Amino acid sequence: MTRAGLTRRVVGLAMTAAVVSTLLLAAAPRPAHAAASLDRNLVPSSGALLGAYVDPDARWTNNTDAQNEVRAFESSLGRRLDVNQHYYSWTNTFPSGLEQWDVQNGRIPLVTWEAWGTTLRQIDSGMYDSTIRARARGLRNLGAPVFMRWGHEMNGNWYPWSGAANNDAGTHNGPAKYVAAYRHIHDIFEAEGATNVVWVWSPNHESIPNESWNHWSAYYPGDAYVDWIGPDGYNFGESKSWSSWRSFRSVFQEIYDYYAGRKPIMIAETASVESGGYKYRWIASMWTQVSVNMPAIKALVYFHVGGDWRTNSSASAHRKFVDMANAPHFLRVADADAPRVAGLGADSGDVVRVTYESSEPAQVTVEVRSSSGRLVRTLRGAQWTSPVLREQRWHGRTGSGRLAPEGRYRFDIHAIDPAGHATTASQWVELAR
């Protein structure tokens, strides 16, 4: 999968101490809750961390712009980000001021270090050891935990640190070179005492070329070198000639199944376009997958950049993202409330249509009952639904397939959230032929 249309901003600008201290005075919003604790590798005991790479207009060129945009994004969410992602080229200096600012404001920096202008063989040879040591000491001296994501999407063919770009003629030794370079960098960080660095190994969700030598597992440096699995994956929808609408689950299911029992999983980059489907439904489904069906996902980092990728490419998409961001699962607090069922409406006739929406992912059962309360038919039985407006139709038949008599009927919508809290909402309808 090409990265066409995904703009990255690399910031290597150091801030003066005066500017840093001034900006630290304006802290981002802080959630008013006691979040679940994190272990030494920053894995939450419950729920999931929420993060982002923030550059919605793809224009910022210095740390002040970056911080202002993070503040504005957090204000739109009504909460602080847990993780803030920054991109650096191979020779950029970090921490650059952004990481210090994140730590002071209660976020975890996520450093994505890209090996532009070098080769995997040169890195492993020791040519850049002084640079690696300097970066290790800089993060060590940060004095706070930081995520490190080096050489991401190495199983694609669009970056110079990929296996495809580093194979010797007539061989497929690029993955082995990647593993050697990754381990070399990791070992130097360890030798420099940068034990506060938490390592995120970040393959693309699919390998391109899709050949056995290029499978993501060929690039895995080993359990001792990896703290988190951090796949990247996007829904390009119909924005490209080669793409089609893909759900969050279909993008990540294969790599999730491969690693879910091995390491905690961070979705290190993801986003959806609007073209080809309903982005707000895509976000709602992502919310359901992370909080219900994919419990090994312990961090979600959204790629909030220009154009269709940003969360506010439409009002409906941003509203749904805000709902997700402030759900107990992403605030990492106990869910104390039952789901709310809203959006109730009905059309009467020979085919009855009822609409409803749960305020959070919920297991929903829809029952049709007579005016006396007798169960006539179960239309939807205990299935997980994302928090979007749903439509349920009844063609006027009982559970045994007979025509139900005309008259007044009650739709009972039972919703149970992941914490087991239950609620029921009812809507009366008239069946008339």
| 67-76 pLDDT tens trace | 999 999 999 9
Q: How many CB atoms lie within 10 A of CB 72?
A: 12
Distance CA 366, CA 415 (A): 9
Q: Which pLDDT value is given to residue 263?
A: 97
Element (H, E) at 294: none
Instruction: Provide the pLDDT for residue 4.
Output: 43
Q: With a cut of 60, say whether residue 13 has pLDDT above it.
A: no
Tokens 């038949």 belong to residue: 397
With a cut of 80, say whether residue 248 has pLDDT above it.
yes
- What pLDDT band is residue 6 in, cutting at 50, 70 and 90? low
Q: What is the chain's mean pLDDT, rounded?
A: 92
C-beta neighbour count of 359 within 10 angstroms: 18
pLDDT at 60: 67
Per-residue pLDDT for 28 more than 90? no
- Contacts with 241 (C-beta within 8 Å, 6 or more apart), sequence order: none
Beta strands in 208-360 (DSSP E): 228-229, 265-270, 297-305, 341-347, 352-358
Helix H or strand E encompassing 127: none
What burial class does residue 257 get, using C-beta atoms within 10 Å of its C-beta: 0-12 exposed, 13-18 middle, 19+ buried? exposed
Q: E strands along 151-264, which residues?
A: 197-201, 228-229
**Cα→Cα distances 62→5, 29, 116, 136, 333, Å:** 21, 22, 20, 23, 35
Nearest CA to 276 among 229, 330, 305, 240? 240
Q: Which residues contact 248 (CB under 8 A, 6 or more apart)?
A: 235, 270, 272, 282, 285, 286, 289
DSSP H or E segment with residue 123:
helix 120-125
| Length of the chain, in residues | 433
129: tokens are: 């050891």
Distance from C-alpha of 308 to C-alpha of 200, rounded to nearest angstrom: 27
Write out the E strands in 8-120. 49-55, 83-88, 108-113
Q: How confident is the model at residue 315 (pLDDT cuts 50, 70, 90)?
A: very high
416 φ/ψ sector (left φ>0, alpha ψ -120 to 50, else beta):
beta
pLDDT per residue over 318-359, tens digit each?
Answer: 999 999 999 999 999 999 999 999 999 999 999 999 999 999
Q: Where are the beta strands (DSSP E) in 102-241?
A: 108-113, 146-150, 197-201, 228-229
pLDDT at 39 over 50: yes
Phi, psi dihedral angles at 214 (to 5 degrees):
-100, 10
Which pLDDT band, with edges at 50, 70 and 90, does 57 fall under?
A: confident
Closest CA to 396 of 359, 431, 353: 431
pLDDT band for 416, please (50, 70, 90 cuts).
very high
The CA angle 178-303-113, to the nearest 5 degrees, is: 30
Supply the pLDDT for residue 62: 86
Q: pTM for this one?
A: 0.92
Average pLDDT of the segment spanning 42-52: 98
What are the tens digits of pLDDT across the range 192-234?
A: 999 999 999 999 999 999 999 999 999 999 999 999 999 999 9
First to last CA, the chain: 53
pLDDT of residue 297: 98
Look at residue 87 and give its three-state secondary structure: strand
Residue-wise pLDDT for 68-107, tens only, equals 999 999 999 999 999 999 999 999 999 999 999 999 999 9
Query: Using CA of residue 148, residue 324, residue 232, residue 76, what is the dihedral sign?
Result: negative
* Each residue's pLDDT tens digit, 265-311: 999 999 999 999 999 999 999 999 999 999 999 999 999 998 899 99
Q: Write out pLDDT tens, residues 149-171.
A: 999 999 999 999 999 999 999 99
Does an H or E element contain 17, and which?
helix 17-24
Q: By C-alpha distance, which of 47, 122, 33 is closest to 78?
A: 33
Residue 135 structure tokens? 């970066």
The burial class, CB within 10 Å (0-12 / 13-18 / 19+), for 362 is buried
- Is the pLDDT assigned to residue 419 strictly greater than 90? yes
Structural contact between residues 300 and 331, judged by C-beta atoms closer than 8 angstroms: no
Structure tokens at 373: 């309360």
Task: Write down the pLDDT at residue 12.
Answer: 39
Is residue 5 over pLDDT 70? no
Task: Render pLDDT for 371-381 as a digit per residue (tens, 0 to 9).
Answer: 999 999 999 99
Q: Which pLDDT score is estimated for 61?
A: 72
